[in-house]
Amino acid sequence: MKWMKFRIKTITEAEDVIVSTLYDIGLEGAQIEDKVPLTTAEKEQMFVDILPDGPADDGIAYLSFFVEEKENGLLEVAGEDKTSEQLLAEIREELSGLQEFMDIGEGTVSVDETEDIDWINNWKQYFHQFTIDDILVIPSWEEAEPENEGRLVLHIDPGTAFGTGMHDTTQLCIRALRKYITKDTVLLDVGTGSGILAILSLMFGAKKAIGTDLDICAVDAVRENKEANGIPEDSFELLIGNIITDKEVQDQVGYECYDIVVANILAEVLVPLTPVIVHQLKKGGIYITSGIIDDKEETVAAAVRAAGLTVLDIQHQGEWVSVVARKE
């Protein structure tokens, strides 16, 4: 399919107002480009631990709206067919109205036709089957290569939720899980994403898994990956919410009922998570953490010890670290 892209040059302070205003005329899903530094909350929902320094915020923002172009060249917006010229005129009229009572910067609009892209599935060209020790991780659109015969097969499609198993931190967690899981293991996976760690834990023999995540995208990803790997519905439950700050989520997850808690998250999140999650662990339970860049190893280890846990093992892979501890 073809898309028309309407790109507005504005200022960061006007982003929300413009997005809301144009939503009212049928434009949805704005792509926002600016140099505003990420907030702490945004960083907590990202997988990277250390972000590269970006350019200084210059106050300029670009808002892009994409509208599907039909075969007859018309654009369907809010159920109505319009030409690109008509829609452009409407956008300019709305921006002109905003300029009467607030600063929106230049407020200029450019229009381009994009190439034919499947926005949801385009990422698949970058994800191919690979191995982690004796595990073959393979997406649904590929067939297993002959040399991988006999491996434990994990079918994983991350979609819009994080988690393919390619990252060093995920592999550190997988190896730790394999070491500690038994047939009686009840596991909690904090920040489950695609569900890869919980699903593999069940494949390793765990009895039950609970996952939590902040991102609603995890719901579909977990459901699809459970189905792809034949995981029974009642053996892996997903809860959406912030277990660090939300008492209701903590209560739903339950207290002192997990043999293993695994958290492959940012070091900055692991520090406040640890004194909370210790209450979910059984006595003797294992706490597996990763997502820790090497120079933050002692920060996480100290938080683990401060929560009353005993550090059992610290493993490294590349620049990343996994800290494993036990609740005494």
Where b means 16+ CB within 10 Å and e means fewer, 228-245 reads bbebeeeebebbeeebbe
74 occurs within a structural domain: yes
Q: Residues 188, 307: one domain?
A: yes
Mean pLDDT for the stretch of residues 275-284: 97
Q: Residues 71, 166: one domain?
A: no
Q: What are phi and psi of 276, to 5 degrees?
A: -85, -50
State yes or no: 193 annotated in a binding site.
no
pLDDT of residue 67 exceeding 80, the answer is yes
- Contacting residues for 105 by C-beta, under 8 A, at least 6 apart: 9, 10, 11, 14, 59, 60, 61
120 occurs within a structural domain: no
pLDDT above 70 covers a percentage of the chain that reads: 87
State yes or no: 264 annotated in a binding site.
yes
Q: Which among 114, 139, 171 is the end of a domain?
A: 114
Mean pLDDT for the stretch of residues 200-212: 96
Question: How many domains, in total, are found in the chain?
Answer: 2
Candidate from 142-156, 198-212, 229-243 with smallest mean pLDDT: 142-156
State yes or no: 191 annotated in a binding site.
yes
310 occurs within a structural domain: yes
Candidate from 52-61, 176-185, 275-284 with smallest mean pLDDT: 52-61
pLDDT digits (tens, 9 = 90+) for 24-54: 888 877 888 887 765 555 554 444 444 445 5
CATH, residue 92: 3.30.70.260
Q: Residues 81, 173: one domain?
A: no
143 occurs within a structural domain: no
Q: Which among 77, 95, 114 is the end of a domain?
A: 114
Token digits of residue 171: 């592999």
State yes or no: 242 annotated in a binding site.
no
145 occurs within a structural domain: no
pLDDT digits (tens, 9 = 90+) for 146-160: 887 788 888 887 554
Q: Residues 63, 175: one domain?
A: no
Domain span at residue 42 reads: 2-114
Residue 249 binned pLDDT confidence (cut-offs 50, 70, 90): very high
pLDDT of residue 53: 54
Average pLDDT, the chain: 86
pLDDT of residue 88: 95
CATH, residue 201: 3.40.50.150
Mean pLDDT for the stretch of residues 255-260: 97
At residue 180, the 3 state secondary structure works out as: helix
Which of 268, 159, 262, 168 lies closest to 215 in space, CA to CA?
159
101 occurs within a structural domain: yes
pLDDT of residue 120: 52
21 occurs within a structural domain: yes
Q: What are phi and psi of 298, to 5 degrees?
A: -70, -30
Which DSSP symbol is given to 279? Answer: T
Q: Residues 322, 176: one domain?
A: yes
Q: Residues 189, 256: one domain?
A: yes
